Amino acid sequence: MSEQQQYVWKLKSLTGTGQWKAFCEMLDYKIGMQQKKLEQSKDPVDIYHAQGAIQALRQMKLLKEEINGTN
């Protein structure tokens, strides 16, 4: 079993519970906070950081599909 498969196996139980919905709600909240920061930032470095954070948070929301093999 590869290292990635081990992580996927460990996370499978999280995706099948109500915990996943709460996790996604938290991610949506954090995405919203980063979007506000992005809208208010004038410094290009802060803008790039907010963009990167939003991308990473959105990738985390796609973990369920990756874990369940649909992506």
Instruction: Please give the C-alpha separations between residue 27 and each of 9, 14, 24, 57, 69, in angstroms, as whole numbers.
Output: 22, 15, 5, 6, 21
Query: Is the Cβ–Cβ distance between 40 and 34 less than 8 Å?
Result: no
Range of the domain at 43: 3-67
Q: Mean pLDDT across the stretch 16-27?
A: 88
The domain total for the chain is 1
Question: pTM (2 decimals)?
Answer: 0.80
* Residue of 15, 1, 9 lying closest to 62 (CA atoms): 15
Q: Which of 16-20, 49-53, 60-64 has the lowest mean pLDDT?
A: 16-20
